[in-house]
Amino acid sequence: MKKTNYSNIADRYDKNKFRQDIKPDYDLEACINNCDREKIIVLDLACGTGIYLDRQTKFFQDKRVEWHGIDASKEMLNRAKTKVDNVLFKNGLAEELPYDSSYFDFISNNYAFHHFEKKPQALDEIARVIKKDGIFKMHNIAIHEMPKWWVYQFFPSAYHEDLKRFWQKELIFKELSERDFEVEIKLDYKMKETKISSLMNYAYNRDISAITIISDKAYEEGLERMEYNLKKNPNAVIINEYTDIFFIARKRV
């Protein structure tokens, strides 16, 4: 399985405008409101540059929350630390979480599970450090539901690489259930016409994980396809689909 080197793209990661559209996490809000303890303890697993934590700490600044973030990339963490000063950050792996058992009330994991090399071990660790009735929320793209995503249309080798990295939703459901989680899955599917010109900055920035792992030759060929279409017709469009998937898993024991 090929890996994205986030140390190499940390300096341009936040330039992707798509990542800035972060709304209040209503599942986190429900967890906060339903908690009768003095405070709720939250972990953003694979927190990256801290985009999620930056937004959520602002949304819930009046709530009694102890915030934590962990990431495998020191460069990404360094950027996260410039955004928030009320979060306890650690450098570490999902497969070896440096936390006590039954510590967290809520664990978020955004667009990162496919990066974990030892996924069963990571799930074991998540199940270990979360409290009974705690919530593990995994948010990702559902690649098996979106073969017409623009990335896969112009960079087809990215799809074949992603098939090696992403588990099917049925497998994730099964693995979480076997670790005593009660699991609910939600899909948010969109299909629309998209101007190729609106995608060029994302392609040039080359910060999207699926594009970072393909060969330079495959990347250049994909860019040439996009640029050729625009040269023929500056207003060229494609049918573009995208699917977000959410796993809401409550620890039963």
How does pLDDT run across 190-208, given as a tens digit for each residue?
999 999 999 999 999 999 9
pLDDT of residue 18: 64
Residues of the chain with pLDDT under 70: 7, 15-21
Dist. CA 66–CA 86, nearest whole Å: 8
State the pLDDT at residue 121. 98
pLDDT value for 110? 96
Q: Residues 178, 25, 243, 111: is their CA dihedral positive or negative? A: negative
Q: Distance between CA atoms of 117 and 165, rounded to whole angstroms? A: 8
Q: How far apart are CA 139 and CA 114, in angstroms?
A: 11
Go through the domains of the chain in sequence order and give each one's CATH number.
6-251 (3.40.50.150)
Residue 135 structure tokens: 């919530």
Which two three-digit tokens encode residue 121?
A: 């071990």
Q: Give the model's pLDDT for residue 38.
A: 86
pLDDT of residue 17: 65
Note the pLDDT of residue 20: 64
In angstroms, the CA 202 to CA 218 distance is: 16
Q: Which pLDDT belongs to residue 8?
A: 72
Question: Which pTM does this prediction carry?
Answer: 0.93
Residue 20: how many CB atoms within 10 A of its CB?
A: 11
8 Å CB contact between 115 and 46: yes
Close Cβ partners of 135 (under 8 Å, ≥ 6 residues apart): 27, 28, 31, 105, 106, 107, 248, 249, 250, 251
21, with CB counted inside 10 A (0-12, 13-18, 19+), is exposed
